[in-house]
């Protein structure tokens, strides 16, 4: 028996047309330059950002790298190269993403410094932006082949060590990392994969930040990938959340896997996440270059995992080329009565279940 079809949820999408003949006026005094694909990217006033206090800094960063998309209209620049199924799939995934809680929302690399500092009594408005940027970089360096929850444990241990053993009240700072013995550092981060190698990378990177980058994180992708253990994915995410520079897409395993599954990139040509990044950047609207990472990562963590997909709860199961048809055959009716928190290994999709129940109720009444 086939799966129960759910009425398609209408999503409002705004298509923005850009004139080929008239240049748009630049906003905010930001100068435009081009990336490797000839697409415009923003220059930012780094010196001004470095002078910002915590409140002003985080407000500025969040303006360009907004994580909370609930209630935000999806705006797409008109582009004939966008795959035909992109808007139908992404708009629905975006809706589902706004209805679920995922590890990346609280202990993903961008949020982890804020979450960890809060547990030690250092609220966001009291954090030094320079410390946030450094801790973001360290969390990214630790994250390779490591789940967000495991990464959070390592960052918590390192933060505690820096405060209690090294006597730094601000926790993970450049001074603390330079002072920290590599063996002790390795011990504090032992929960992550390849911890010994990463401890060595962090120590070497700390010296480079002191000697080559004026005690702060780099301001260019070239600077970031010059650090040991830092690749393009980490570099672009660090640029986005450190300086609000949206110079490229952060493509991790989830973004890579889902983009290939939905046919947004050529899986035969895209052998690595870096290949996927370059192909996505040829057509993905610039306005989505930051957003697509947390949207797809969270979706991939909780609903569309490599194994154990929850296709019965997915709004795009009727048009998704990667749908688990065997799962839908086993489920005669969409099961919405299970405890979504108890049933979920990671995250919480109870709000999505409530949404689906309401949709089902409305469908029966019509």
Beta bridge partners of 40: 34
- Number of residues that this document lists for the chain: 366
Phi and psi of 286, rounded to 5°? -60, -30
- Those residues whose C-beta lies under 8 Å from the C-beta of residue 151, and which sit 6 or more positions away, are 107, 109, 112, 139, 142, 143, 192
- Those residues whose C-beta lies under 8 Å from the C-beta of residue 336, and which sit 6 or more positions away, are 313, 353, 356, 357, 360
Beta bridge partners of 15: 76
What separation in angstroms does the CA of 114 have from each of 109, 207, 321, 323, 360? Answer: 10, 24, 38, 36, 38
Evaluated on CA atoms 150, 154, 155, 156, the torsion sign reads: positive
Active site residue 309: no
The three-class DSSP label of residue 143 is: helix
Q: Are 39 and 281 in contact (CB under 8 A)?
A: yes
Catalytic residue among 101, 198, 233, 241: 241
3-state SS track over 37-101? CCCEEECCCHHHHHHCCHHHHHHHHHHHCCCCCCCCCEEEECCCCCCCCHHHHHHHHHHHHHCCE
Residues serving a catalytic function are 241
């Amino acid at each position: 028996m086939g799966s129960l079809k759910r009425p398609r949820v209408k999503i409002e999408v705004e298509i923005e047309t850009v004139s080929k003949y008239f240049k748009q006026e630049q906003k905010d005094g930001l100068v435009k330059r081009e990336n490797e694909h000839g697409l415009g990217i923003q220059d930012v006033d780094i010196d001004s950002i470095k002078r910002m206090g915590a409140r002003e800094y985080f407000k500025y960063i969040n303006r360009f790298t907004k994580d909370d998309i609930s209630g935000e209209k999806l705006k797409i620049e008109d582009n004939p190269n966008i795959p035909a199924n992109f808007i139908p799939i992404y708009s629905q995934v975006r809706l589902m993403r706004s209805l679920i809680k995922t590890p990346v929302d609280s202990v993903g690399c961008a949020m982890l410094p804020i979450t960890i500092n809060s547990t030690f009594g250092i609220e966001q408005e009291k954090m030094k932006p320079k410390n946030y940027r450094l801790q973001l970089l360290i969390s990214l360096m630790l994250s390779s082949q490591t789940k967000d929850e495991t990464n959070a444990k390592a960052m918590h241990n390192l933060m505690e060590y820096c405060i209690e053993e090294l006597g730094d009240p601000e926790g993970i700072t450049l001074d603390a990392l330079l002072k920290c013995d590599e063996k002790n550092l390795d011990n504090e981060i032992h929960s992550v994969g390849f911890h010994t190698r990463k401890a060595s990378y962090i120590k070497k990177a700390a010296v480079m930040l002191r000697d080559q980058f004026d005690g702060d994180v780099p301001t260019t992708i070239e600077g970031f990938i010059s650090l040991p253990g830092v690749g393009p994915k980490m570099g672009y995410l660090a640029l986005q959340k450190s300086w609000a520079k949206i110079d490229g897409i952060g493509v991790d395993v989830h973004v890579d896997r889902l983009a290939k599954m939905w046919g947004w990139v050529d899986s035969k040509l895209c052998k690595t996440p870096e290949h996927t990044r370059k192909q996505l950047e040829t057509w993905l609207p610039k306005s989505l270059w930051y957003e697509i990472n947390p949207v797809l990562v969270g979706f991939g963590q909780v609903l569309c995992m490599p194994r154990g997909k929850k296709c019965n709860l997915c709004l795009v199961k009727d048009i998704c080329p990667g749908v688990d048809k065997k799962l839908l055959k086993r489920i005669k009716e969409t099961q919405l009565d299970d405890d979504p928190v108890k049933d979920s290994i990671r995250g919480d999709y109870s709000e999505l279940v409530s949404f689906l129940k309401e949709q089902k109720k409305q469908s029966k009444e019509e």
